[in-house]
Amino acid sequence: MRRPPLEECWPRPSVIGVVNVTPDSFSDGGDNLEAATAAETARRLLAEGAAVVDIGGESTRPGSEGVDAAEELARVVPVLERLRGVSVSIDTTKAEVAARGIGLGAVLVNDITALRGDPEMGAVVADAGVYVCLMHMQGEPRTMQVEPRYGDVVDDVTAFLEDRLEAAIAAGVREEHICVDPGIGFGKTPDQNLELVRRLDRICRIGRPVLVGLSRKSTLARVMGDTNGRVGSTAASVGAAIAAFDRGAALFRVHDVAPHVDALAAAAAVERGRVAP
């Protein structure tokens, strides 16, 4: 079955709920480590209005250590088995994990390496005909926040995403199945993160739906004056999401689904100037 374009499957704005099946993610590590709890959380987020839930079994917080495919599969497979028939994404850099996730019903592969981490990932996505998110990251999770440097952060990230879009298409992925993510917090300073949001319209001109993941990021704690804070508030997360929406973002990866769904629905109504879509 040929899938419709990504923007038809998830019209702007659509919210993606985060379910980290890990002991060490930056804001919810350990909360959903048990498969039954993770599945319950996923169903709750869908009930609150998430268009899809993103299941991840490997932390990508700054300084995190990786896990092998066997450990990642041991974490996510029991969750995916409990979520058959619902809209699920698999957050992974490993082709083996992506393939297993797709076999268990995942319709989107969220790859923070933009298909660079595993040479087989492009083929897995292309052969399955699923959607994929290509994200920008400078370095890798263990070292990405060690003095990130850019000429112009927006120009550099845009060029990277344009290049990875071409690479994905060359690997056989359908262009209409791709979204891009500037990678807020992945090898950027707080000011660089804010500049990416401020000039997000430039990234939107790539021509593919743009996903943003601002939820609870430490940049938002800095904005609120907490210089050592690791986690931003829900209110700050919602405010940043609305700023991103106003600049063209289409997809929003969040931990707190309900307030984002409500705020984005209101922002979208204002944008179109009428209540009904």
Least Cα distance to 215 among 241, 192, 195 occurs for: 241
Structure token digits, residue 151: 């000429």
In this structure, are residues 209 and 250 in contact, taking their beta carbons and an 8 Å threshold? yes
Contact 152, 191 (CB under 8 A): no
Residues 6+ apart with CB under 8 A from 58: 22, 64, 66, 67, 72, 91, 92, 93
Phi, psi of 211 (to 5 degrees): -100, 135
Q: One-letter amino acid identity for 19? A: V
Out of 61, 75, 100, 253, pick the active-site residue: 253
One of 100, 164, 217, 222 is an active-site residue; which one? 217
CA distance 13 to 252: 7
Concerning whether 188 is annotated as a catalytic residue, the answer is no
253 given a catalytic annotation: yes
Instruction: Tell me the H-state helices in the chain.
Output: 6-9, 35-47, 69-82, 95-103, 121-128, 153-170, 190-198, 200-204, 218-223, 234-246, 257-272
- Please give the positions annotated as active site: 217, 253
